[in-house]
């Protein structure tokens, strides 16, 4: 009795909508039918890219065929014209199978990224087995590729710290906008940010219209945000950020109560 074999699921297949994948598959088939055995594989380079356009790479089989430079240039031009006349937002490129293999043997960063992140559309048995071996951990990475990931990790940590610092600036604008609303309800033209805390203390805190902490919070958040914006500070600890967030939350709730109470009738002197 003949056994039915179940094919492996394509790597990264969940990163693109089914209808778009089918359209790209149809376009790829048109290209392959025109060039028959010359194209070994077609892969979507970044299926999860936020960009609307899709980059489709065709691997030219120069391992089993004698391929001349003129053929490659003609194929590139022809594929580009086919992509231009299609309704798909496509960018097409080509790569010699021998160049791909050399990049893989050298554990070249670009080649390894293509293997790890791309989605195969068509393959004659050249690309998919290598991709599967890499993804399943059966191919040992080079020392250079390991170092690349350490560098990426360091950059990601720096980016995370930067995002936290920028979030302090966002809290500053939240506090500033709420304070501007409050002073306008009090019938005052909003002052510059450097004088905002002073105005809130004089016009609102001193008259027991808002909690006394409100003026102190504006001062504190303004000083923190100014240091970030002037690049005096590049990192903010999680504990400090939580403290700024709690202050901003308290301030906005306090101002919200004040505005709701006085927005209709205004503040009486």
Please, what are the domains in the chain?
Answer: 13-140 (3.30.460), 145-262 (no CATH)
- The residue with tokens 């070994």 is 40
Share of the chain above pLDDT 90, in %: 30
* Res 1: pLDDT: 46
First-residue to last-residue Cα distance in the chain: 96
Least confident of 38-42, 151-155, 265-269: 265-269
* Res 253: pLDDT: 94
Measured distance CA(237)–CA(241) in Å, rounded: 6
Would the pLDDT of 169 be above 60?
yes
* Local structure of 75: helix, strand or coil: helix
Do the Cβ atoms of 50 and 15 come closer than 8 Å?
Answer: no
* Res 66: pLDDT: 87
* Res 174: pLDDT: 93
Tens of pLDDT, residue by residue over 85-103, are 887 888 888 999 999 999 8
Q: Is 164 exposed, middle or buried (0-12, 13-18, 19+ CB in 10 A)?
A: middle
Give the helix ranges, DSSP H, for 36-142.
69-85, 97-105, 109-117, 127-135
Do the Cβ atoms of 78 and 97 come closer than 8 Å?
Answer: no
Side-by-side strand order, sheet with 54-60: 90-96, 54-60, 39-44, 119-123
Q: What is the CA radius of gyration of the chain?
A: 30
Would the pLDDT of 133 be above 90?
no
- pLDDT band (50, 70, 90) for residue 51: low
Do the Cβ atoms of 121 and 56 come closer than 8 Å?
Answer: yes
Bridge-based pairing state of the strands 119-123 and 39-44: antiparallel
Q: Is 126 exposed, middle or buried (0-12, 13-18, 19+ CB in 10 A)?
A: middle
């Amino acid at each position: 009795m003949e056994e039915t074999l179940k094919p492996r699921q394509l790597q990264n297949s969940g990163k693109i909508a089914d209808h778009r994948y089918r359209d790209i598959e149809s376009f790829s088939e048109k290209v392959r039918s025109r060039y028959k055995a010359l194209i070994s594989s077609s892969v979507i380079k970044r299926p999860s890219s936020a960009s609307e356009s899709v980059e489709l790479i065709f691997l030219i089989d120069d391992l089993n065929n004698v391929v001349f430079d003129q053929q490659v240039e003609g194929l590139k031009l022809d594929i580009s014209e086919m992509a231009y006349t299609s309704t798909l937002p496509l960018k097409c490129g080509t790569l010699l199978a021998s160049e791909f293999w050399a990049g893989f043997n050298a554990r070249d960063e670009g080649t390894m990224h293509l293997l790890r992140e791309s989605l195969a559309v068509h393959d004659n048995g050249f690309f998919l087995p290598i991709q599967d071996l890499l993804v399943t951990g059966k191919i040992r990475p080079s020392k250079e590729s390991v170092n690349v990931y350490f560098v990426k990790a360091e950059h990601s940590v720096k980016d995370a710290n930067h995002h936290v610092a920028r979030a302090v600036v966002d809290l500053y604008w939240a506090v500033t906008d709420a304070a501007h609303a409050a002073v306008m309800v009090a019938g005052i033209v909003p002052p510059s940010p450097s004088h905002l805390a002073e105005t809130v203390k004089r016009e609102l805190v001193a008259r027991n219209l808002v909690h006394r902490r409100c003026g102190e919070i504006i001062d504190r958040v303004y000083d923190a945000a100014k240091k970030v914006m002037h690049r005096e500070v590049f990192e903010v600890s999680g504990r400090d950020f939580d403290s700024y967030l709690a202050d901003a939350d308290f301030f906005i709730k306090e101002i919200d109560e004040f505005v709701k109470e006085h927005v209709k009738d205004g503040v009486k002197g």
